[in-house]
């Protein structure tokens, strides 16, 4: 395929009615760009694509803007031939943007496109100054165009938009402390990663809007997303004592006993910390770090639970679940959990519980004394203890669950499987620990069938996945892992790019 063939693809796309143009667009994109990489034809075709932007119908312009943004982003050099060719059209992009109503699909696509030209920041920001952009769109654009200032840098507190982060001075100082320990190369790499995450979110929002219309407004604050009290309550031995028949030592797998504030293995006699009410099974007591560090971090970042539930999580669901129309709202998830959690005898485990959003739902629906919240993050568990003091909080790995075989009555893993380093092994562990008839409820995400949207999904960089590419799934793989773990699927649905499954241990 040569330049003439690219011209033919452009002509076919331009001539196609709006309702029939998407297939033509996919063919055009695949000829120039594949999974974040330029094809050999891209270099010679950029100027033709830029010129075509003036010639196609308004219904087609946004798609070309997305394509041009993808081409600019794929150029391995910020001064490369492709990005330079795309940049030559900047004046016409800004002129077209100035004529679009704020928040409309074409305007969103153009914002994604012009976000790739930080060297033209002053020109771009001056052009959009009177455009009345939504605050999230404006601050996202401002940030992706902002060059790195090593003396005053914010890392990791910008997604899904800087507008949604309001840090206290104590939180800023906490960030300055850990940022100061990074090398210049690490700071630059993290800053660039944040930029790509914001571009990915902007691109996903625009691309979805071109196909479906203006995205819905963000949901109102989550009633379960409240902040924890000042300090978690002291350790209550009964929260762990009631589950000792299920709990096992992570080293020798013997049973545990509780005496005062210490939990001891009946086999190897290892002792485990219960500082701040959290049973820490990641190491013996002598190996644990300073437990006061956890409380200090929780105090400095006290509002992170609120940020997570009301800002980060909704943005994550929009990007990963294609939830731009709010088809899945928190109360839909609540209802699903309450309806599908069907425990048999034994504790109910909320796996990778985080700050306890879904633990709270299950605690309200079931006997709270049955609940165990497990996570690897001690700060999250400290917040959870503050809001749910009656729940047993356990720090342990999802890949080596500290429970005996067939000891749990039900397991929930909500919006977490994709964050685990070995999701198949986690499901195997769930199957090992569940009693026959016990339910397993799961919410996670599937990789989009659309390569462009899948690329935007893969822009997300989270803990454990600093280079992007958080593993999303195929429904077929989830089914296979469940079957191999002895679980039978009882219900499943895939709205957008969500996966919701209820399974039962055979």
Run of H or E including 371: strand 371-375
Can you give the pLDDT at residue 140?
98
Can you give the pLDDT at residue 308?
73
65 contacts: CB under 8 Å, gap ≥ 6? 53, 93, 106, 109, 110, 112, 113, 206
Q: How confident is the prediction for the chain on average, in pLDDT?
A: 91
Beta-strand relationship, 392-395 and 348-351: unpaired
**pLDDT tens digits for 205-220?**
999 999 999 998 766 5
178 vs 442, more confident? 442
Q: Which two tokens stand for residue 425?
A: 């092994």
As a whole number of angstroms, the distance between CA 478 and CA 485 comes to 11
**Residue 462: is its pLDDT beyond 90?**
no
Q: Are 418 and 341 in contact (CB under 8 A)?
A: no
Can you give the pLDDT at residue 233?
86
Run of H or E including 405: none
CATH architecture of 295-505: 3-Layer(aba) Sandwich (3.40)
Q: Are 66 and 109 in contact (CB under 8 A)?
A: yes
pTM, rounded to two decimals: 0.94
Within 10 angstroms of residue 84's Cβ, the number of other Cβ atoms is: 14
Write the CA distances from 53 to 43, 80, 175, 351, 478, integer angstroms: 17, 21, 43, 49, 42
As a whole number of angstroms, the distance between CA 12 and CA 232 comes to 63
As a whole number of angstroms, the distance between CA 225 and CA 331 comes to 12
As a whole number of angstroms, the distance between CA 102 and CA 131 comes to 7
Write the CA distances from 326 to 214, 284, 373, 422, 498, integer angstroms: 12, 44, 28, 29, 12
**pLDDT tens digits for 146-156?**
999 988 899 98
Least confident of 16-20, 217-221, 348-352: 217-221
Q: pLDDT over 70 for what percent of the chain?
A: 91
**Residue 191: is its pLDDT beyond 60?**
yes
DSSP state of 248: B
Can you give the pLDDT at residue 220?
58
**pLDDT tens digits for 64-95?**
999 999 999 999 998 999 999 999 999 999 99
Q: Are 420 and 295 in contact (CB under 8 A)?
A: no
**Residue 226: is its pLDDT beyond 60?**
no
Q: Which of 176, 168, 123, 165 lies closest to 140 in space, CA to CA?
A: 165
As a whole number of angstroms, the distance between CA 191 and CA 205 comes to 21
Residue 416: pLDDT band by 50, 70, 90 thresholds?
very high
**pLDDT tens digits for 105-146?**
999 999 999 999 999 999 999 999 988 999 999 999 999 999
Residue 363: pLDDT band by 50, 70, 90 thresholds?
very high
**Residue 468: is its pLDDT beyond 70?**
no
- Domain ranges in the chain are 3-212, 295-505
Can you give the pLDDT at residue 294?
47
């Amino acid at each position: 395929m040569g330049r003439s063939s690219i011209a033919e693809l452009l002509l076919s796309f331009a001539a196609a009615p709006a309702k029939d143009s998407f297939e033509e667009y996919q063919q055009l994109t695949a000829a120039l760009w594949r999974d974040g990489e330029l094809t050999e034809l891209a270099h010679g075709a950029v100027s033709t694509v830029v010129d075509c932007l003036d010639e196609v119908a308004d219904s087609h312009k946004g798609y070309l803007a997305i394509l041009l943004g993808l081409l600019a982003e794929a150029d391995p050099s910020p001064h490369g031939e492709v990005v330079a060719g795309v940049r030559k059209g900047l004046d016409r992009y800004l002129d077209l943007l100035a004529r679009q109503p704020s928040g409309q699909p074409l305007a969103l696509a153009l914002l994604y496109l012009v976000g790739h030209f930080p060297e033209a920041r002053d020109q771009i920001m001056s052009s959009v100054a009177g455009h009345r952009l939504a605050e999230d769109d404006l601050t996202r654009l401002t940030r992706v165009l902002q060059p790195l200032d090593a003396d005053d840098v914010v890392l990791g507190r910008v997604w899904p938009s800087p507008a949604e982060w309001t840090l206290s001075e104590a939180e800023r100082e906490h960030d300055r402390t850990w940022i100061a320990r990074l090398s210049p190369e690490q700071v630059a790499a993290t800053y660039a990663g944040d930029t790509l995450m914001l571009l990915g979110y902007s691109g996903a929002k625009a691309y979805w809007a071109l196909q479906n219309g203006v995205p819905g407004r963000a949901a109102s604050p989550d009633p379960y997303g409240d902040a924890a009290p000042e300090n978690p309550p002291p350790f209550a031995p009964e929260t762990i004592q009631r589950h000792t028949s299920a709990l096992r030592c992570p080293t020798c797998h013997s049973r545990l006993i509780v005496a005062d504030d210490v939990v001891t293995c009946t086999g190897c006699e290892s002792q485990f910390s219960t500082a701040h009410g959290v049973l820490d099974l990641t190491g013996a007591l002598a190996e644990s770090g300073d437990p006061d560090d956890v409380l200090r971090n929780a105090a400095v970042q006290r509002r992170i639970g609120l940020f997570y539930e009301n800002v980060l999580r909704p943005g994550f669901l929009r990007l990963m679940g294609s939830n731009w129309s709010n088809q899945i709202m928190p109360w839909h998830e609540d209802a699903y959990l309450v309806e599908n959690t069907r425990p048999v005898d034994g504790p109910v485990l909320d796996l990778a519980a985080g700050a306890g959003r879904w633990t709270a739902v299950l605690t309200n629906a079931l006997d709270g004394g049955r609940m165990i919240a497990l996570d690897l993050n001690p700060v999250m568990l400290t917040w959870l203890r503050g809001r749910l003091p009656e729940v047993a909080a356990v720090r342990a790995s999802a890949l080596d669950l500290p429970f005996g075989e067939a000891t749990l009555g039900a397991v929930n893993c909500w919006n977490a499987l994709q964050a685990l380093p070995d999701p198949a092994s986690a499901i195997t562990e769930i199957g090992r620990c569940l009693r026959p008839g016990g339910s397993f409820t799961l919410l996670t995400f599937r990789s989009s069938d659309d390569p462009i949207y899948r690329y935007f999904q893969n822009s997300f960089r989270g803990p454990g996945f600093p280079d992007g590419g958080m593993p999303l799934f195929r429904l077929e793989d989830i089914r296979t892992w469940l079957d191999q773990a002895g679980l039978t699927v009882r219900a499943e649905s895939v709205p957008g790019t969500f996966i919701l499954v209820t399974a039962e241990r055979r």
